[in-house]
């Protein structure tokens, strides 16, 4: 099985959107695409030059074929993807509501990906990857997916890889009462945690990034994203005081916010993998996010190994 720098684990679904700016109820033509938080991260890392893979389940159906073909074309390794003969690939629809944005209609209950379990990971050769990335979306899909997520985070030191966890709270998947404690438990097991300040406030009542850091003393790196304002990283080293690093978000004209959080995580991880200091990896995360915010797509190709927005604090300082 392919040796990887990063393996991303989670569901990717087919996405159907009207071809024109109109509600689904009036659309004569629609476009078929795909999207998923973890596979977005894998695609960004692959374009940046890392050996990135995606692990999940897809149905033996045309939607699954479309996703597999699309991710392979983006350079993502799919050797750890299982094709499920009995369950279908999840699908969601974007229903534009002119003047109000768009609502999303999910058809993912009982999907192939929701049947992932700890048993699946036994075939993934986890000792052949240096990093595992997953999110709270995966944990919300089913009990077996939640167990898989916990296993991947918990066994990281023993198997020999590092693990990152993006909280990625989705109210459509589970309530705050259920999600809050479980996501906190999972985040506490990761080496790197990504969470939006708005999520942390909803889930755990955190008003500031410092509150989040205090709530998560276990992870070595806690990255708190404050929307369009800044990202803050808290670094814990044994026997040392917590170090705090900040970097402001870039000023961009936002076309579509979906996928920007995944892009940020990918940029940050790309910086960490190449040994960047904290401020530079925060800057790279913002670069990936800013590039993605300028597109309607969840994943916007084209930044390659040199993002077209600000690549470091030095470039940012020169541009402001």
**Cα separations (Å) of 205 from 184, 187, 200, 228?**
12, 16, 6, 20
Q: Report if residue 73 sits inside a domain.
A: yes
> Does residue 68 lie in a domain region?
yes
Smallest Cα–Cα separation from 229: which of 205, 209, 256? 209
Distance from C-alpha of 67 to C-alpha of 70, rounded to nearest angstrom: 5
Mean pLDDT for the stretch of residues 186-214: 98
**What contacts 24+ positions apart, CB below 8 Å, involve 62-66?**
63/13, 63/14, 63/34, 63/88, 63/89, 63/91, 64/89, 64/112, 66/14, 66/32, 66/34
Is pLDDT of 314 > 80?
no
Residue with tokens 């929701």: 114
What integer best gives the mean pLDDT of the chain? 90
Strand 192-196 with 162-166, pairing: parallel
Report the percent of the chain where pLDDT is more than 90.
75
Question: Which CATH number fits the domain that encloses residue 214?
Answer: 3.40.1190.20
Average pLDDT estimate for 37-56: 96
As annotated, the active-site residues are 262
**Rg value, the chain, Cα:** 19
Domain for residue 252, yes or no?
yes
* 184: alpha, beta or left? (left if phi > 0; alpha if psi -120 to 50): alpha
Distance CA 267, CA 30 (A): 31
Residues in Cβ contact with 62 at an 8 Å cutoff, skipping those fewer than 6 apart: none
Beta strands in the chain (DSSP E): 6-9, 13-18, 30-35, 52-59, 81-84, 91-97, 101-107, 131-135, 162-166, 192-196, 221-226, 230-235, 243-248
Give the domain extent around 180. Answer: 6-319
Number of domain units in the chain: 1
Nearest to 233 by CA among 260, 265, 201, 257: 265
Of residues 67 and 310, more confidence is placed in 67
Does the residue 36 lie in any domain? yes
Q: Which of 16-20, 40-44, 183-187, 240-244 shows the lowest per-residue confidence on average (mean pLDDT)?
A: 16-20
pLDDT class of 312 with cuts at 50, 70, 90: very low
> Residue 317's pLDDT is what?
38
Is residue 1 assigned to a domain? no
Is 166 a residue whose pLDDT tops 70? yes
Say if 247 falls within a structural domain.
Answer: yes
pLDDT tens profile 85-108: 999 999 999 888 765 667 889 999
pLDDT at 129 over 70: yes
Instruction: Quick: pLDDT tens for 244-290.
Output: 999 887 676 665 667 788 999 999 999 999 999 999 999 999 888 87
Which of 191, 216, 212 is CA-nearest to residue 202? 212
pLDDT at 104: 86
């Amino acid at each position: 099985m392919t040796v990887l720098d990063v393996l991303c684990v989670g569901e990717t679904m087919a996405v159907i959107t009207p071809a024109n700016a109109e509600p689904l109820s009036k659309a004569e033509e629609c476009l078929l695409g795909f999207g998923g938080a973890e596979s977005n991260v894998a695609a960004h890392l692959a374009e940046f030059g890392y050996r990135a893979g995606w692990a999940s389940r897809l149905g033996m159906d045309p939607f699954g074929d479309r996703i597999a073909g699309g991710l392979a074309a983006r350079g993502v390794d799919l050797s750890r993807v299982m094709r499920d003969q009995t369950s279908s690939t999840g699908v969601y629809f974007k229903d534009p509501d002119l003047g109000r944005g768009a609502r999303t209609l999910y058809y993912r209950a009982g999907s192939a990906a929701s049947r992932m379990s700890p048993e699946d990971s036994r075939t993934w050769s986890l000792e052949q990857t240096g990093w595992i990335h997953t999110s709270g979306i995966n944990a919300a899909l089913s009990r077996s997916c939640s167990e898989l997520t916990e296993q991947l985070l918990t066994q990281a030191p023993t198997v020999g890889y590092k693990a990152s966890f993006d909280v990625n709270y989705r109210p459509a998947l589970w309530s705050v009462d259920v999600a809050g404690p479980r996501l906190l438990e999972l985040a506490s097991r990761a080496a790197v945690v990504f969470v939006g300040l708005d999520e942390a406030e909803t889930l755990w009542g955190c008003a500031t990034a410092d509150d989040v850091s205090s709530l998560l003393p276990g992870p070595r790196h806690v990255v708190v994203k404050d929307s369009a304002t800044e990202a803050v990283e808290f670094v814990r080293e044994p026997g040392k005081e917590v170090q705090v690093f900040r970097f402001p978000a870039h000023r961009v004209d936002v076309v579509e916010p979906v996928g920007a959080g995944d892009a940020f995580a990918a940029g940050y991880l790309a910086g960490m993998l190449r040994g960047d200091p904290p401020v530079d990896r925060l800057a790279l995360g913002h670069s990936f996010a800013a590039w993605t915010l300028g597109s309607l797509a969840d994943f916007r190709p084209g930044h390659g190994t040199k993002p077209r927005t600000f690549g470091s604090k030095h470039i940012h300082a020169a541009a402001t």
